[in-house]
């Protein structure tokens, strides 16, 4: 089920639940105008949070080629609901297929697992024909979609140029949050490309990816210490 469909089903459940609660409160003697106002506010806040958090940028094929860390590719797949495998070439191919399935779009809806579960429970199952993919065809597909040398030389996400001024203004690493005592291009603590992740952090997608990456690193350090 697509994220848009899942959110449609989940929003319907939320709206009906809000209306049902409002009706019960009114039947108990509460002021119907106040209850109606609170119900409208709750629905508006819900729609605002849904739009701000789950309507995110869609990476381009050129930007996908710039991600060299397998963890970044896995996190991107999980954000888009594709399921990360942890293997760079598989996750990169999944992302490319996802981008090609949404041509001429800059933003897409994404949905967390609980929302997809609700949407799937309410959806009417319809069998979809699956394309038979043999081993030779899979190998050919992977080879044909290998990033070109020119795409690997792309500057930064979104075509941004590298700048010494950007590095000089950075006080901490956007990934591990360690303090940078002097201008560096690579974080001495976690090895992150500082400019790459700094530019990435300017987008909703980038902030979610970096948050997941930072959280995973902190959990790893905590388990190591224990």
193 - beta bridge partners? 186
At residue 2, the pLDDT reads 77
pLDDT, tens digit (0-9, with 9 covering 90-100), for 143-184: 454 444 444 334 577 778 888 888 888 888 888 888 887 777
Claim to verify: residue 95 and residue 203 sit in the same structural domain = no
Domain extent, residue 177, equals: 158-226
Residue 152: predicted pLDDT: 37
Is 15 found in the same domain as 83?
A: no
Percent above pLDDT 90 for the chain: 22
Q: How far is CA 184 from CA 160, 165, 166, 180, 188, in A?
A: 18, 11, 11, 8, 8
Q: For 121, how many CA atoms within 13 A lie in the half-sphere containing its CB?
A: 9
> Is 145 contained in some domain?
no
Residue 118 half-sphere exposure toward CB, CA atoms < 13 A: 16
Say whether both 29 and 4 belong to one domain.
yes
Q: Which helix (H) or strand (E) holds 119?
A: helix 113-122
Q: Is residue 69 part of a domain?
A: yes
Residue 149: its H or E element: helix 149-152
Say if residue 71 is in the same domain as residue 47: no
The answer on 83 and 17 residing in a single domain is: no
C-alpha separations of 84 from 130, 219, 224 in Å: 21, 19, 24
Residues 200 and 95 in one domain: no
Is the Cβ–Cβ distance between 47 and 12 less than 8 Å?
no
Statement to judge: residues 26 and 69 lie in one domain? no
Considering the domain architecture, whether residues 118 and 42 belong to the same structural domain is answered as yes
pLDDT digits (tens, 9 = 90+) for 61-78: 888 888 888 899 999 998
Domain identity same for 2 and 83: no
- Model pLDDT, residue 172: 87
Residue 146 has a pLDDT of 46
Whether 174 is in a domain gets the answer yes
Residues 10 and 94 reside in one and the same domain: no
Question: Mean pLDDT per 10-residue run, the chain (226 residues)?
Answer: 82 94 94 94 94 89 86 90 84 91 86 77 54 51 46 59 82 85 81 86 88 78 54
Model confidence, pTM: 0.70
CA 171 vs. chain centroid, Å, equals 26
């Amino acid at each position: 089920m697509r994220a848009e469909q899942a959110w449609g089903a989940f929003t319907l459940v939320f709206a009906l639940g809000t209306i049902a609660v409002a009706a019960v409160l009114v039947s108990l003697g509460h002021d119907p105008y106040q209850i109606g106002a609170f119900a409208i506010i709750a629905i508006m806040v819900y729609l605002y949070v849904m739009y701000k958090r789950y309507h995110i940028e869609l990476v381009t094929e050129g930007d996908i080629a710039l991600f060299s860390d397998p963890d970044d590719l896995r996190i991107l797949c999980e954000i888009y609901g594709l399921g990360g495998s942890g293997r760079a070439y598989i996750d990169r191919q999944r992302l490319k297929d996802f981008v090609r399935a949404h041509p001429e779009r800059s933003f897409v809806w994404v949905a967390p697992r609980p929302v997809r579960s609700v949407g799937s429970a309410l959806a009417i199952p319809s069998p979809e024909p699956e394309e038979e993919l043999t081993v030779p065809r899979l190998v050919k597909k992977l080879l044909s979609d290998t990033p070109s040398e020119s795409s690997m030389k792309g500057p930064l996400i979104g075509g941004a140029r590298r700048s010494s001024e950007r590095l000089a203004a950075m006080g901490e690493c956007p990934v591990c949050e360690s303090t940078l005592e002097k201008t560096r291009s690579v974080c001495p603590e976690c090895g992150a490309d500082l400019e790459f992740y700094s530019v990435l952090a300017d987008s909703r997608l980038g902030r979610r990816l970096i948050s997941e990456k930072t959280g995973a690193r902190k959990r790893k350090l905590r388990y190591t210490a224990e």
